[in-house]
Structure formats: structure tokens, C-alpha cells
Chains A and B, each alone.
Chain A
Amino acid sequence: MKGIVFTEFLDLVEDKFGLEMVDKIIAQSELESEGIYTSVGTYEFSEMLQLLKNLSANTNISIDDLLLVYAEHFFSVLKISYPDLIATYKDPIEMLASIENHIHVEVRKIYPDAELPTFNVLEKTENSLTMIYKSSRAMHHFGLGLMNKTFEHFSATATIVIEKIKEDGTEVKFIINKN
């Protein structure tokens, strides 16, 4: 997993819960990296999973909710890092529909070894989109957070329903309707 996901995560934890919480969840987790992350490095996904679990345990907030908040924060990071890519879109539905065929293609150019989820479009109209999310990471709520922020970015809102196709969340259907 790309280092920026870790550094941004820990920054957000520090922001919301203080440096003690950061220190605590690092200490509670068994981390090969010893909690030393840099945005240009690459680290095991299992480390992120442990950090999330321990944060959830310490704060009584579900992992899904933590991911949602984190994703909303992460969208602003993307906006700062890749403004040109986002500027090529005029509409949130268009942007979300092209995750697979455009955005991930661009990501692979910069990070050839990135392990990306797939977003296959089932149905698309001007104001609605149905996609299947597939990833062994089961981070669909991270996706949801990014989607929420995408609509916000284009000054729009949407109702997004998540239907789990697999119980463990590795395959999920997103039904998006623009309001």
C-alpha cells in the first residue's frame, strides 16, 4: 500500500484525536515498519488494517465510519496533488464512471506496482450510475467517502446505496443516484 495512505491517515488521527492516540495505536499494533512511514514508500496493507482496528477499539467508532471520514480527508489530498486530472471532468457521474478506464490507468503510469480495486460500470445514465467494487481489501467505505467528496467537489449531492454482494465486503454494488 502506498505510503501516502499511511502518512495522511496518521496525520488525520493526530488532528482528530491527538498525538497520544497516534502513539497508542502504533504501540498496540505489530508493525514491521515500526510506524515509520514516508509518502514515497510502500508498506504492507495488514499494517493499515491493524491501525484501523486499534483506532476503532480505542474510539468506539466502526472501521467503516473511520474509513469514510478518512476517505473524505483523502479526497482533498488528491485535489492538491492531481488538480489537472480532476479538472478534466465536468460532472461527478462522468468522473466516477471513468475510474477504471482513465483514473486507474493514470495511476498505473506513476505506480506500476499499485494494487488497485476494480470498479466495473453496470449501468450508467445522465444522473445515475451502478458499479461493482471488487477488492480483497474490502475498503468500500473508503470508496464511498471519495464518492461523497466527488459530488461535493462538483457542488452536487447524491444518494449512494451500498449492497454487499459478498458478506466480507470484497465485492460490493454501488447504486448512485444524483439528487
Chain B
Amino acid sequence: MSQIQIDILQRALNREKAARKQSEKILEDKSLQLFNATQELKEANEKLELLLEEKTSQLQGVFENINDAYLIMDLEGNALKMNDAAIELFGYDLKTERFNVVNLIYKPDANYAFKSFKELRKKGFFTDYTARIITKSKAVKWVQINASLIYDKSKQAIAAQGIIRDITETRRTSELIKEQKIELEKSNDELQEYAHIVSHDLKSPLRSINALVSWIKEDNSGKLDAASLQNFELIETTLEKMEQLISGILLYSSIGSESVKKEKTNLNMLLEDVKQILFIPEHISIKILNELPVVYGDKVKLQQLFQNLISNAIKFNDKEKGLIEIDVQEEKSFYQFSIKDNGIGIDKKYHDKIFKIFHSLNKTKESTGIGLSIVKKIVDLFKGEIWIESEPNIGTTFYFTLKK
């Protein structure tokens, strides 16, 4: 072998050696890379597993803790999973028996049930299905169900889940309330009618007594002494007072019984009318501080409202110069009115009582104790509120609101 050939072989051998080392290094680096990648994957996997566990336990918690019954079924209606609330409601326990939701259908509601089930298959959900079910112990329960389909990765429906709320008790209560409301309305109407008839019937014997008294007076003209005449006068005053009382009751019972006539009412004009009707003594002045609004409501009732409050303010004024101020403030959904006087005032302990019927603080001829209860009733009709601020001997302010 020539030296040249030896040299060629030597160089080839060196290249092969170097190549082997190079490849070993490349492979080693690759192995390290692979190892590191595997390590990273492992860690990521562990994190994912942890996350999955957490989510699973959260779901399990929701499943166990919701107060409503929760059921998962296959698309044929076979129950697959239920929570304790469902076991309690239906009476079936999957640990010991199998059951299909068809078993729960209450016959008269079957059509509705099948229709809703079809809707679930078609749309993927239904909401607020409300019907009766029959439990294992043959009890009939009202339930409200919200259900949706469960899909697999390829968007294929594989099962359905539903939350079933037992509304038997709620339904019973609301039905009871409905019945009671009807009954209450009926008895209210009857009461109103009764009050109306009674006060009417009471008026005619009063008129008879009045006539009889005046006949006796006429027949015995000149024969009666001063004491008797005074007693007769007292009888007449009492009769008049009783007449007023009965009229008041009639008026009170009529509020709310009539259908409410709603019309645009200009309160400025209405107040002018009230001033005309009421007798306003010389020493009393009425001031309207603000332009009053046009409100929408029954004109007669609005007049009664202002008339009663203003006549009270006149009646119970003991000052040399009586002053009555009427004001209004506009709020977002209502008007707030105030009627202020500088009269005798009302003691704080009576502030709550004055709006109750027959609660007159002053047993005078004109005071029946019905006026303020009528006022309260009218304000109630307008869904408003009424309250007072008052100090004895200084004056009273009545505040009330009327809904727009």
C-alpha cells in the first residue's frame, strides 16, 4: 500500500471518527431536549389533572348542594344520575332501582310533557315547563323544569339534564291567596253596600224625629219654659250633628266604590271653586305660593281632598289673622302638596290617630271625625302618602303626595 493510499484511509478514518462523535453529541443533545420536553409535559399534565379534579369537585358540590332536584337522563328518558333532592322528590333511588322519566308523567299532562320533550330534542332545551308529576308513592306534585341537552365532542346529543323545582307548596299558597283576595273583595263590597244602606235607613227616622220635635214645639208654643226650650234646642243640634255623621259615613263608603273617572284637572281652577264653596271668614287669608299643576284624576275626589283640608285649616284657627298657605313641589313620579296653617295645632300623640274614622279631637258641632279619613282614603286612591307636621298653638302643615 502506498503512502498516498495510507494517507487517504487515515483521513477517511479521521472523518468517520469525528462524524461519530458529532452524531453522538447531536443525539445526546436531542435526548436532553426530549427529556426536558417530557418533564415539561409531565408538569403540564399534573397541573391539568389538578384543574380537572378541582372542576370535578366544584361540579359535584353544585350537584349535591342545589336545593332543587337535578337529573341526568339518556335520550330515551332513562335516569342516569340524580342528586339527593331528586331522590327525595321522585321517591326513586338509582342505587336500588332503574326508572324512566315517563314513569313520572301525570296522565292529564302527558300531551304537554311529550310536546316539551320533542322541543328539547329539537331546540336543545326548554324552560319553565310547569306541570304535574306523579311520584313513586303516587303523590301528585307540581314542578317547574328547565332542561337542556348534553353534547359530546362532535356536537352529538348524548343525554339531557334538568333542574326540577317542586312548586307544589308555592302553587297552593298562591291559589289560597287568590281565593282569599276574591273573598276579601266580595266582603268589602258587601260592607260598603251595607254602610250605604244603613246610613240611608238611619236618616229617615232622624227626619221623623226632627219633624216630631218641631211639631211638639209648635203645638206647645208659649207653654214651654226656658229650660225646656233650651233642651229642645239641644235635641235639634244633636239631630243635626247625627245627620252630618251619617252623611259623612255615606260619603266615606262611596269613595272607592264608584268607578274612578279620570280627567285632566287644573288644580288652580279647582282651588278657586273650593274657595267659593267654603265660607272664608274675614280674618283668614289663603295664599297659593306656587302655580299648581294639572293632574289626571277624578275631579270630585280631588275637590273633596282639598276642601276637607282647607276647611279644617279654617275651622281650627284661633289666631287674629289666620294664614293658610298652599304649596306644591314636583318630583319625578309624583307631586308633593302642602297645606300650612297657623291654627291651634295638633299634639304629637294624635298624629297617627287623626286619619282614622270617627276620630275627632274637637267635639264641636261641625266636626264629625270623618273628614280626615276621607282625605286619607282619597290619597290612597292616588297611591300617595299623607303625613303632618304640627306644633300645638303654632300651626299645622298637612303634606300629601299624588302620583302623576
Please state if B22 and A23 are interface contacts (CB–CB under 8 Å): no
Q: A34-B15, A35-B15, A36-B15 are in contact. Are A41 and B22 (CB under 8 A)?
A: yes
B23 at the interface (CB under 8 A from A): yes
Partner of B22, one of A20, A22, A36: A36
Inter-chain contacts of B11 with A (CB < 8 A): 23
A19-B9, A20-B8, A23-B8 known; A40 and B26 CB under 8 Å?
yes
Q: State which residues 16-39 of B face A: CB under 8 Å.
A: 18-20, 22-23, 26-27, 30
Q: Which residues of B contact A38 (CB under 8 A)?
A: 19-20, 22-23, 26
In this assembly, does B202 line the interface, its C-beta being within 8 Å of a C-beta of chain A?
no
Contact B27 A40 (CB under 8 A): yes
- Asked if A36 meets B18 with Cβ closer than 8 Å, knowing A41-B23, A41-B26, the reply is yes
Alpha-carbon gap, A7 to B22, bound state (A): 13
Q: Tell me the dominant secondary structure on chain B's binding face.
A: helix
Tell me whether B9 and A37 are in contact (CB under 8 A).
no
Contacts of A41 in B (CB 8 A): 22-23, 26
CB proximity of B16 to chain A, nearest CB, Å: 8
What's the tally of chain A residues with a CB closer than 8 Å to chain B?
14
In the bound complex, CA of A26 to CA of B8 (Å): 11
Q: How far is the CA of A96 from the CA of B33 in the complex (A)?
A: 34
Q: Closest chain A residue to B16 by CB distance? A: A36
Residue B41, interface by CB 8 Å: no
In A14-46, which residues have CB < 8 Å from any B CB?
19-20, 22-23, 26, 34-41
Instruction: Please state if A39 and B8 are interface contacts (CB–CB under 8 Å).
Output: no
- Cβ contact of A23, chosen from B12, B27, B30, cutoff 8 A: B12
B12 pairs with A39, CB closer than 8 A: no
Chain A residues in 8 Å Cβ range of B22 = 36, 38, 41
Q: How far is the CA of A34 from the CA of B17 in the complex (A)?
A: 13
CA distance A38 to B5 in the complex (A): 24
Residue in A closest to B26 when the chains form the complex, CB atoms: A40
A38 to B20, CA, bound (A): 7
Alpha-carbon distance A57/B9, docked complex (angstroms): 23
Q: Which residue of A lies closest to B7 (CB)?
A: A23
CB distance from A58 to the nearest CB of B (A): 15
Please tell me if the beta carbons of B12 and A19 are within 8 angstroms of each other in the complex.
yes
Contacts of B30 in A (CB 8 A): 40
Q: Which residues does chain A contribute within 8 Å of B23, judged by CB atoms?
A: 38-41
Within A27-80, which residues are at the interface with B (CB < 8 Å)? 34-41
Contacts of B9 in A (CB 8 A): 19
Q: Kindly state the separation between the CA atoms of A11 and B5 in the bound complex, as whole angstroms.
A: 18
B49 shortest CB reach to chain A, Å: 27
Which chain A positions have C-beta within 8 A of B27?
40
Shortest Cβ distance from residue B24 to the other chain A in the assembled complex, whole angstroms: 9
Rounded to whole Å, the gap between the CB of B255 and the closest CB of chain A is 89
Compute how far the CA of A48 lies from the CA of B308 in the bound complex, rounded to whole angstroms: 115
- Evaluate contact between B19 and A36: CB separation under 8 angstroms: yes
Task: Give the residue name and chain of the B residue nearest to A42 (CB).
Answer: B26
Most chain B CB within 10 A, of A22, A34, A36, A41, is at A36
Contacts of A37 in B (CB 8 A): 19
Cα A19 to Cα B9 in complex, Å, equals 8
Residues of B within 8 A of A34 (CB): 15, 18
Cα A7 to Cα B30 in complex, Å, equals 20
| Bound complex: CA A38 to CA B12 (Å) | 13
Give the distance in Å from the alpha carbon of A157 to the alpha carbon of B20 in the complex. Answer: 40
- The smallest beta-carbon distance between A138 and chain B, in angstroms, is 28
* Cα of A40 to Cα of B11 in the assembled complex, Å: 21
Query: Please, how many angstroms separate the alpha-carbon atoms of A39 and B20 in the complex?
Result: 10
Complexed CA–CA distance, A140 and B12 (Å): 31
Which among B5, B19, B20, B26 has the greatest number of chain A C-beta atoms within 10 A?
Answer: B19
Shortest beta-carbon distance, A41 to chain B, in Å? Answer: 6
Complex Cα–Cα for A111 and B42 (A): 24
List the B side residues contacting A22 at CB < 8 Å: 12
Chain B residues near A36: list those with CB within 8 A: 15, 18-19, 22
Give Cα A33 to B8, complex, Å. Answer: 18
Q: In this complex, what residue of A is CB-closest to B8?
A: A23
Interface digits, B343-358 against A, CB 8 Å rule (1 contact, 0 not)? 0000000000000000
Q: Which residues of B contact A19 (CB under 8 A)?
A: 8-9, 12
Query: Measured between C-beta atoms, what is the minimum distance from B22 to chain A in Å?
Result: 5
A:89-108 near B, CB below 8 Å: none
Q: Output the least CB separation between A113 and chain B (Å).
A: 14
Beta-carbon nearest neighbor of A37 in chain B: B19
Q: How far is the CA of A40 from the CA of B8 in the complex (A)?
A: 25
A71 and B231 CA atoms in complex are apart in Å by 145
Bound: A10/B230 CA distance, A? 151
Q: Which residues of A contact B8 (CB under 8 A)?
A: 19-20, 23
Tell me the bound Cα distance from A23 to B19 in angstroms.
15
Q: Can you pick out 6 interface pairs between chain A and chain B where the beta carbons lie within 8 Å of each other?
A: A7-B19, A23-B11, A36-B15, A36-B19, A40-B26, A41-B22
Q: 8 tightest CB-CB pairs across the interface, nearest first? A: A38-B23, A36-B18, A23-B8, A38-B19, A36-B19, A40-B26, A38-B22, A36-B15
Known: A38-B23, A40-B27. 19 other contacts (CB 8 A): A7-B19, A19-B9, A20-B5, A20-B8, A22-B12, A23-B11, A23-B12, A26-B15, A36-B18, A36-B22, A38-B20, A38-B22, A38-B26, A39-B23, A40-B26, A40-B30, A41-B22, A41-B23, A41-B26
